[in-house]
Amino acid sequence: MAYAQQTLLDDLEKMRGFATVPKPQDIYTWVQWEMARTHVAIIEFWLQVQKQFRTTAPIEDAENFLGFAKQWVRTLELHHQIEEEIQFLHLNPPLDTSTSHDQHTALLTPLRVYHVYLESVSTGIEPWSASKAETLAQAFLPILMHHFVEELHMLDPERLCASSISADTLEAMRVSVATRAKEIADPTADIPPLIMHNGGALDWPPVPWVLSETFKMPMELYLPHKGWWKYAALPLNL
């Protein structure tokens, strides 16, 4: 059965439930909050991609739209890569992250198939078909949404507190995530979409400048792919 858009929106609401509080000071609460903010941003980003499937954008503005759409796949892959390389190693044990890991693995093939399709449209091998894109997305969306909700339950603050994991370990994890993200992220491609899908928040994502209503990011981060970002939820008003 097709994964209904309403189910996706319901799952997104569940994630928002963990993401709306002001930035927690307590590290045990922060871990889940940070993850929830990230998951919500990735799904907000997805909604912007999906919204264009049946418009003229994939055909008349193919380079920009497909750039935006392919960046969504990269954003998700980067998130999972950092979890696998950093977070899971800090959390496990005492937490059992194997279910999350298995879900990442289950996503690999359907995501790759979808990405290959976008690539083949980009290179002119295949024509754009909204139906095909939707069908390919249906292969990963239910797994992804289930994963994004379940992973937040895995990081329940009370559960974290009750485990033997120390605050120092969680602090070390936070530092290692930031360090690894700096090593592997392309600032011009990977940072803008988080800022433009954060619901206008000023407390996330963590960036080395002060987010304000009037200053979201340095122009040198935004301009290299500004054609992509017109499809974002909150593009800069240049």
Phi then psi dihedrals of residue 158, to 5 deg: -65, -40
Q: Which one, of 9, 58, 24, 15, lies nearest residue 167 by Cα?
A: 24
Cβ 95 to Fe ion shortest distance, Å: 13
Q: Each residue of 96-108: b (16+ CB within 10 Å) or e?
A: ebeebeebbeebe
Q: Which residue's structure tokens are 């189910």?
A: 7
Count of all residues that appear for the chain in the document? 238
Estimate the crossing angle of helix 27-51 against helix 62-82, to 10 degrees.
160
CB of 190 to Fe ion, least distance (A): 15
Residues in contact with Fe ion by CB under 5 A are 83, 100, 151
State in angstroms the smallest separation of the CB of 121 from Fe ion. Answer: 27
Tokens 């879900």, residue located: 103
| Residue closer to Fe ion, measured from CB, 84 or 119 | 84
Region of 218 please: left (phi>0), alpha (psi -120 to 50) or beta: beta
Buried b or exposed e, range 157-186, using 16+ CB within 10 angstroms: beebeeeebeeeebeebbebbeebbeeebe
| Minimum CB distance to Fe ion, residue 41 (Å) | 11
Residue among 84 and 134 whose Cβ is closer to Fe ion: 84
CB 79, min distance to Fe ion, A: 6
Query: Between 61 and 83, whose beta carbon lies closer to Fe ion?
Result: 83
Query: Which is nearer to Fe ion, 81 or 122 (by Cβ)?
Result: 81
Nearer to Fe ion, 32 or 100 (CB): 100
Which residue, chain included where needed, has tokens 């400048």? 209
Query: Mapping DSSP to helix (H, G, I), strand (E, B) and coil, where does residue 56 land?
Result: coil
Q: How far is the CB of 112 from Fe ion (least distance, A)?
A: 17
Nearer of residues 55 and 98 to Fe ion, judged by Cβ? 98
For the chain, the first-to-last Cα distance in angstroms comes to 43
